[in-house]
Structure 1
């Protein structure tokens, strides 16, 4: 091995020895007392984004979901509800389905988007759920919410939720 390549190898080993692991990694090291010390990750959790919408008309009710993984993979889902629902109930059904799907896929952090101010306001605690059925839905959301490390529900204008809206509307137009 030439003198230059030996110096390069020594330098590479030295850099590797003193380089800290990336922040997303968690490692355990031993200190002088022999006790293990954990390194805390400073990286934010990888968020899923979920756009939800519910639709209800005389033909039926349905939900539309657009899930975007942390790696930007998009999953579309539309479901026809097997019962007549109001728009508010359909929106809650969409929210619950989106939360359940993320949890089944192992997601721990989610940012959800809905265009229905009433549901967003109730989940955020800014509006009261007076109706017994809405209280039941809100209770289910709270239960699922506890399974996330991070959960955010944001209101988006209808124009910012057209993809999920189209999927929900599609289910009410088919038999």
Structure 2
């Protein structure tokens, strides 16, 4: 992730505040902005350190592994890069806090930029100083960290969650609270039905087993539900048989062809393919633990979770561009579906291990055009299996 941070003091020392923006790796998608009151008597440099600290904290909470920090404070950049000594006791304490935070990441770099390239963080720091002058206590007082989510008038949790196309009316839909003016591209995410390998709880990545009889019935049950609810415009599928069979069951009742998208294939588990969780752990205990904790690590001869996320994200963007405002049925596997959900939540990789997806389950995510919406995506439904219980 990329962090831009600034801080200021009116009086130096005087009322002080910091501003921070955390961007995704593309440098354009803002993930979090923070307005932080430092206090009523602090220096510019201390305020700048606080802006940097708030950025590292946010990047950690968002699941970043590598962080690039950009500041117009030459002093903070040079001190945190280890090129200048830190003599002031207050800044020594703040630098120690930063070092501890940096242990959460694989790498952190600090780069100086001219003030003109740090205008957003500078504006946020001025908001913080305004708040400090008005009597606000030290702490986060604005930005996305402080945005309340309890207003029942705009809470997506009370939204109608049918798997249907978004109606033209904006009231009671995610568009009502995101501010979007156009229909989102909706992705209905269907995991394939049971296979012999899933029944045996084996890692099943690029292996190509077919559905069991139960798996075929699960696929038909999902297809009937999709037919009853309607609204599907396009069907895309992983190239593996278990997904193509599940997608074909839906296509037959919906009257739609199935488009195979190679990048929707499951994660490559390498040498762990065909093993159970316990067997893989026994084979490589340390590596298996590291793999579970670190999305950049791949199984021996396999694919890392981060690499999978990058390819699935490119698929989602392509489908959103090709089918704007339409509903796309995506038939895939556990990890690609989790990637879609992670993208909708705009979350870090830590969320992946905290999701559970049943066989033949349905989830729904929506992505709005960036120019339209204050919030670019929503999770509507996750791991719905009601159609299996009633089949």
Q: How many pairs are equivalent? A: 128
Query: Helix, strand or coil for the counterpart of 1:56?
Result: strand
Does structure 1 residue 63 correspond to structure 2 residue 63?
no
Q: Deviations over 1:113-154 (max 9, x none)?
A: 010001111111111101111111111111111111121111
| Pair 1:90 & 2:50 matched | no
TM-score (ref. length: structure 1): 0.68
Secondary structure at the counterpart of residue 159 of structure 1: helix
Query: 1:131 maps to what in 2?
Result: 88
Shift of 1:81: 2.1
Query: In the aligned structure 1, how far is the partner of 2:96 from the partner of 2:35?
Result: 23
Aligned equivalents of 1:165 and 1:70: distance in 2? Answer: 21
1:172 to 108, 125, 129: 129
Instruction: Indicate if the aligned counterparts of 2:35 and 2:125 stay in contact, CA closer than 8 A.
Output: yes
CA distance in 2: counterparts of 1:92 and 1:118, whole angstroms: 10
Counterpart CA distance in 1 for 2:8 and 2:112 is 17
Q: How far apart, in 2, do the equivalents of 1:151 and 1:163 lie?
A: 21
Relative contact order, CA 8 A, sep 6+: which one is greater? 1
Q: SS at 1:139's partner residue?
A: helix
Deviation at 1:73, TM superposition (A): 2.6
Please say if 1:113 is aligned against 2:70: yes
Answering whether residue 7 of structure 2 is matched by residue 51 of structure 1, we say: no
Contact 2:7/2:49, CA 8 A, preserved across alignment: yes
Residue 29 (structure 2) aligned to one of 64, 69, 73:
73
Query: How much has 1:70 moved relative to structure 2?
Result: 3.0
| Equivalent-residue separation in structure 2 for 1:145 and 1:137 (angstroms) | 12
Q: Residues 34 and 54 of structure 2 are in contact (CA less than 8 Å); yes or no, is this contact kept in structure 1?
A: no
In 2, Cα distance between equivalents of 1:127 and 1:161 = 22
1:79 is displaced (CA, Å) by: 1.6
1:83 to partner: Cα distance: 4.6
- Mapped to 1, the partners of 2:82 and 2:108 lie a distance apart of 14
| Structure 1 residue 80 displacement after superposition | 1.6
1:35-79: CA deviations, max 9, x gaps? xxxxxxxxxxxxx11100011114621110111123643132212
Any stretches of 5+ residues in structure 2 without a counterpart? Answer: 135-391
Matched position secondary structure for 1:81: strand
- How do residues 120-159 of structure 1 correspond to structure 2 at under 5 angstroms? 120-159=77-116
Q: What is residue 27 of structure 1 aligned with on the other side?
A: none
SS at match of 2:69: strand
For the aligned residues, what is the CA RMSD?
Answer: 1.5
SS of aligned partner of 1:98: helix
What does the per-residue CA deviation read over 1:10-51, in whole Å, with 9 as the maximum and x for residues that have no partner? xxxxxxxxxxxxxxxxxxxxxxxxxxxxxxxxxxxxxx1110
1:70-112 deviations in whole A, cap 9, x for unaligned? 3643132212224521000001111111101110111111111
